Amino acid sequence: MRTVYLDNNATTAVDPAVLEAMLPYFTEQFGNASSMHAFGSAVGAAIKAARQQVQKLLGAEFDHEIVFTSGGTESDNMAILSALEASPERDEVITSAVEHPAILSTLAHLEKTRGIKVHVIPVDKKGMLDIAAYRAALSERVALVTFMWANNETGTLFPVVELAELAKEVGALFHTDAVQAVGKIAIDLKSTPIDMLSLSGHKLHGPKGIGALYVKRGVRFRSQQKGGQQERGRRAGTENTPGIVGLGKAAELAMLHMDDEATRVAALRDRLEKGILQRVPSCFVTGNPHERLPNTANIAFEYIEGEAILLMLNRAGIAASSGSACTSGSLEPSHVLRAMDIPYTAAHGATRFSFSRFNTDADVDHVIEVVPAIIDKLRAMSPFWAGANEKAKDFKPVYA
């Protein structure tokens, strides 16, 4: 059976060139970069090269602005904890309602345990930030502003450079969770006031368990993980050399493919969206179609539930993902879609197709071919679907 992987916002396939670059660091190049012998110095050089590759991808001014971590989650946690510790006279944080749990859960925890105040800025129906609410929340009590660059569910982009400029006006640090943006859109940090940025290897065809936090030169930073002097004392622990080398290679390849991502991949995504919208009634694209990652399509199919859609897609060889409650075991559909005020009738059926440079036209053809029948079949079973059942309008379950 043909398999089509369209869940690249969840994770990506490791590029074969990345794997090849990593392999020696599991075998002959096993040294510890801190050691005073040849084994160590070769590894130290490889880590430096990887740091420069990431630096280039981010358009950072210095390579030492890159701190390697275990991934996006650690980078997000590190940025928040460091910022609060570095600004003890400020105890407020500003974030948005649609951040990843790596941000929201961390802040909720700090709110509960340390009494910091968290301003959660709402978004509109397209997922765009309420700038007026953001401006109103800004004050000299704010230690950190953290807004994601691109949303993982809808691909919607926040204007982080302008948001960072506003944060500067009150002297707050600005962090962005760019886990979904890095490698997909051009970034040039040296020309921005962004202080910190999180990225993750496995979202750009690198390995899992490796990521980085960019910390602009001169930004107050407090190390969170204590121990040795690795990463200039900012993140202790013997380096994950194979992971770092893999991330470096992945960053280099992402630069090479950036144009392809912006044009060919975006065209695939657009064709899939058009194809589905033309063939399937009562569905719509969520997020802001004009301010969006080139690879993400999030389509809400009304009156049916996302997990059921995914199971059917999976049987047809298609891997996608859903903001439905049932896939996560919670009762609520995705907080992102709810924050955008997508009605429950549609939020549960929201299905995300996320592309990568490894997708092809044939992939899109296959999806467009099988999706309409899947939606029809599930709607025929749905008590809310009026198209199949005249009486659906009267359907009033007891605790709806």
Partner 1 sequence: MWDYTDKVKEYFFDPKNAGVLEEANAVGEVGAISCGDALKLMLAVDPETEVITAAKFQTFGCGSAIASSSALTEIIIGKTLEDALKISNQDIADFLGGLPPEKMHCSVMGYEALQAAVANYRGEEWQDDHEEGELVCKCFGVDAGMIERAVRANKLTTPEQVTFYTKAGGGCLTCFDKLEEVLASTNAAMVTEGLIMAEEAYRLGSVDPRQLKTKAKPGAAKPKTDIDQVMAKRPPTASAMPPASAVAAAPSLASTGRLTTVQKIRLIEEGLEEVRPFLKKDGGDCELIDVDGSNVYVKLSGACTGCQMASVTINGVQERLIAKLGMPLRIVPVS
Residues with active-site annotation: 326
Using a 10 angstrom Cβ sphere, with 0-12 exposed, 13-18 middle and 19 or more buried, the burial of residue 129 is buried
Minimum gap (Å) between residue 149 Cβ and ligand PLP: 8
Strand pairing class (196-200; 211-215): antiparallel
Question: Which of 109, 135, 217, 315 is the binder for partner 1 (CB under 8 A)?
Answer: 315
Here's the x/- map for partner 1, 102-141, by CB under 8 A: it reads as: --xx--x----------xxxx----------x--xx----
**Is residue 25 within the footprint of partner 1 (CB under 8 A)?**
no
Phi, psi of 174 (to 5 degrees): -125, 125
- Tell which residue, 269, 367, 265, 396, has the closest CA to residue 309: 367
| Distance, CA of 101 to CA of 81 (rounded, Å) | 15
Do 260 and 63 touch, CB atoms closer than 8 A?
no
Q: Which stretch binds partner 1 (CB under 8 A): 185-193, 224-232, 342-350, 352-360?
A: 342-350
User: Toward partner 1, which CB reaches closer, 294 or 306?
Assistant: 306
- Tell which residue, 81, 131, 140, has the closest CA to residue 106: 81
User: Toward partner 1, which CB reaches closer, 108 or 362?
Assistant: 108
| Distance, CA of 164 to CA of 176 (rounded, Å) | 9
Partner whose binding site includes residue 307, from ligand PLP, partner 1, none (CB under 5 to 8 Å by kind): partner 1
Minimum gap (Å) between residue 69 Cβ and partner 1: 24
Do 99 and 123 touch, CB atoms closer than 8 A?
no
User: Toward partner 1, which CB reaches closer, 89 or 394?
Assistant: 394
Minimum gap (Å) between residue 249 Cβ and partner 1: 30
Minimum gap (Å) between residue 99 Cβ and partner 1: 9
**Is residue 4 within the footprint of partner 1 (CB under 8 A)?**
no
| Distance, CA of 399 to CA of 381 (rounded, Å) | 20
Three-state SS at 157: strand
| Distance, CA of 167 to CA of 170 (rounded, Å) | 6
Please list, in sequence order, all residues whose beta carbon lies within 8 angstroms of the beta carbon of residue 74, skipping any fewer than 6 positions away.
211, 213
**Is residue 208 within the footprint of partner 1 (CB under 8 A)?**
no
Partner whose binding site includes residue 177, from ligand PLP, partner 1, none (CB under 5 to 8 Å by kind): ligand PLP
Minimum gap (Å) between residue 74 Cβ and ligand PLP: 7
| Distance, CA of 292 to CA of 297 (rounded, Å) | 9
Using a 10 angstrom Cβ sphere, with 0-12 exposed, 13-18 middle and 19 or more buried, the burial of residue 138 is middle
In the complex, the residues that contact ligand PLP under the rule CB under 6 A are 71-73, 76, 100, 102, 148, 152, 177, 179-180, 200, 211
User: Toward ligand PLP, which CB reaches closer, 180 or 322?
Assistant: 180
Name the residue with tokens 């000299």: 140
User: Toward ligand PLP, which CB reaches closer, 13 or 373?
Assistant: 13
**Is residue 298 within the footprint of partner 1 (CB under 8 A)?**
no
**Is residue 300 within the footprint of partner 1 (CB under 8 A)?**
no
Minimum gap (Å) between residue 91 Cβ and partner 1: 15
**Is residue 62 within the footprint of partner 1 (CB under 8 A)?**
no
| Distance, CA of 78 to CA of 158 (rounded, Å) | 21
What DSSP element (H or E) covers 266? helix 266-279
Chain residues that interact with partner 1, rule: CB under 8 A: 96-98, 104-105, 108, 119-122, 133, 136-137, 303-308, 311-312, 315, 324-327, 329-336, 338-339, 341, 343-345, 348, 380-384, 389, 391, 395-400
